[in-house]
């Protein structure tokens, strides 16, 4: 039997919330949507030793659940791609594991599934100030450099056509950024209104370190921002150096420069050395990412896979 919907859920440290989420999903699909579905739970190398046993327990007690454990923590983007790679549905739904995305909003997404991508837009997000600030920074970069429509709000709660998912999987990179891939592949994107619920268990696992890693994937792999900034700074520093050199030459001609000049030389050497080191660091990061892509380092590696149709690996 063909599967209509695949729900892909990256799981990191969760135990209680993911159990409730699966029960709510089954209720929605069995009572409201009434179409075939599969729920793909991806353990993204959780340090919590109870996470994988919990997913195994859910898998055993639910016929429509697939459980995957990754070799290590590849990040949310890698976990999504792992779920995409085994999904069989005509439509793929992505959502978080913390119950802040409600399965009861999925029917509204299904109503607009003729579009390539349907995204839940939240009127009010239950986020901290720093989370909102980093989100606004990401939005600015996506609008300016990725062609994101200004009126479209992006969240992890999405419905994506299988054809778009296949195109996303065809992009070979060790540093995936699925939102950027979506903007590149299609412009047929719409929003539906949804409610962002407060967390019921624990604190957010998407801390500043993980947010920074995702932001770097956007900044370096999907935009020319840093390279353009380096070029502009190069021109600016060259111009300032020319003006400064002209000033000292004029002062020398007018005999208004003392013999010392030691402080000026030290300051200039320190400044330009810092700029050069910064530029070399940025270039080194680009080279490292190019090497990882050329070497075909995967965005995820599956350690265990539990399905009702094939043995675990």
Q: Please name the residues in contact with 13: beta carbons below 8 A apart, sequence gap of 6 or more.
A: 46, 47, 48, 51, 202, 205
In the predicted model, is pLDDT for residue 162 greater than 50?
Answer: yes
Read off φ and ψ for residue 122, nearest 5 degrees.
Answer: -100, 130
Task: Report the CATH number of the 5-222+298-306 domain.
Answer: 3.90.550.10
183/205 Cα distance (integer angstroms): 26
> What local confidence, expressed as pLDDT, does residue 284 receive?
72
Residue 118 sits at the vertex; the CA angle it makes with 225 and 74, to the nearest 5 degrees, is 55
pLDDT top residue among 270 and 196: 196
DSSP string, 169-223: HHS--SS--HHHHHHHH---EEEEEE-BPPPSSS--S--HHHHHHHHHIIIIIS-
Across 272-286, average pLDDT:
73
Across 50-71, average pLDDT:
96
Which tens digit of pLDDT belongs to each residue from 29-44? 999 999 999 999 999 9
In the predicted model, is pLDDT for residue 89 greater than 80?
Answer: yes
> By the 8 A CB rule, do 196 and 100 touch?
yes
> What local confidence, expressed as pLDDT, does residue 75 receive?
87
In the predicted model, is pLDDT for residue 114 greater than 80?
Answer: yes
pLDDT band at 207 (very low <50, low <70, confident <90, very high): low
9/94 Cα distance (integer angstroms): 6
Domain-wise residue ranges, the chain: 5-222+298-306, 225-294
Of the listed ranges 55-64, 162-171, 202-211, 263-272, the least confidently predicted one is: 202-211
In the predicted model, is pLDDT for residue 220 greater than 60?
Answer: yes
pLDDT band at 232 (very low <50, low <70, confident <90, very high): confident
**Beta bridge partner(s), residue 160:** 92, 117
C-alpha distances (whole Å) from 203 to each of 8, 42, 214, 247 are: 21, 19, 19, 57
In the predicted model, is pLDDT for residue 219 greater than 60?
Answer: yes
pTM of the model: 0.75
User: Please, what is the angle between helix 178-185 and helix 162-170, to 10°?
Assistant: 110
Across 257-282, average pLDDT:
67
> What local confidence, expressed as pLDDT, does residue 313 receive?
38
In the predicted model, is pLDDT for residue 108 greater than 90?
Answer: yes
In the predicted model, is pLDDT for residue 168 greater than 80?
Answer: yes
In the predicted model, is pLDDT for residue 265 greater than 60?
Answer: yes
pLDDT band at 131 (very low <50, low <70, confident <90, very high): low
Across 208-215, average pLDDT:
65
Mean predicted lDDT score pLDDT of the chain: 82
> What local confidence, expressed as pLDDT, does residue 275 receive?
74
CA-based R_g, the chain, Å = 25
In the predicted model, is pLDDT for residue 260 greater than 70?
Answer: no
Environment class of residue 246 by beta-carbon count within 10 Å: exposed (0-12), middle (13-18) or buried (19+)? exposed
User: Please, what is the angle between helix 129-145 and helix 178-185, to 10°?
Assistant: 30
In the predicted model, is pLDDT for residue 296 greater than 90?
Answer: no
DSSP designation for 101:
B
Read off φ and ψ for residue 18, nearest 5 degrees.
Answer: -70, -30
User: Please, what is the angle between helix 225-253 and helix 262-294, to 10°?
Assistant: 160
128 by DSSP, 3-state: which?
coil
60/66 Cα distance (integer angstroms): 9
The pLDDT > 70 percentage for the chain reads 72
DSSP string, 240-299: HHHHHHHHHHHHHHTT---S--HHHHHHHHHHHHHHHHHHHHHHHHHHHHHHHHHTT--S
In the predicted model, is pLDDT for residue 245 greater than 90?
Answer: no
């Amino acid at each position: 039997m063909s599967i209509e919907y695949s729900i892909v859920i990256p799981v990191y440290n969760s135990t209680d919330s993911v159990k409730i989420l699966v029960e709510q999903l089954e209720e929605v699909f069995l009572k409201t949507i009434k179409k075939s579905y599969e729920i793909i739970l991806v353990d993204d190398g959780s340090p919590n030793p109870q996470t994988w046993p919990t997913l195994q327990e859910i898998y055993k007690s639910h016929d429509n659940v697939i459980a995957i454990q990754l070799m290590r923590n590849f990040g949310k983007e890698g976990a999504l791609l792992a779920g995409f790679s085994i999904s069989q549905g005509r439509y793929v739904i992505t959502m978080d594991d913390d119950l802040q995305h409600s399965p009861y909003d999925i029917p509204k997404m299904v109503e607009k599934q003729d579009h390539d991508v349907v995204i839940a837009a939240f009127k009010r997000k239950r986020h901290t100030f720093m989370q909102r600030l980093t989100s606004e920074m990401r939005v600015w970069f996506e609008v300016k450099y990725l062609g994101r429509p200004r009126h479209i709000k992006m969240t992890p709660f999405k419905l994506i056509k299988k054809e778009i998912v296949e195109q996303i999987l065809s992009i070979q990179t060790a540093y995936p950024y699925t939102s950027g891939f979506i903007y590149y592949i299609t412009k047929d994107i719409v929003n539906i209104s949804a409610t962002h619920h407060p967390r019921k268990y624990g604190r957010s696992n998407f801390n500043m370190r993980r947010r920074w890693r995702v932001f770097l994937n956007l900044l370096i792999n999907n935009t020319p921002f840093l390279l353009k900034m380096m070029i502009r700074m190069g021109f600016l520093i060259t111009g300032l150096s020319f003006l400064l050199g002209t000033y000292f030459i004029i002062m020398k001609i007018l005999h208004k420069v003392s013999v010392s000049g030691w402080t000026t030389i030290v300051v200039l050497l320190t400044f330009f050395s810092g700029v050069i080191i910064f530029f070399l660091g940025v270039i080194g990061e680009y080279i490292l990412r190019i090497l990882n892509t050329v070497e075909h380092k995967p965005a995820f590696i599956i350690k265990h896979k539990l399905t009702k149709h094939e043995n675990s690996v």
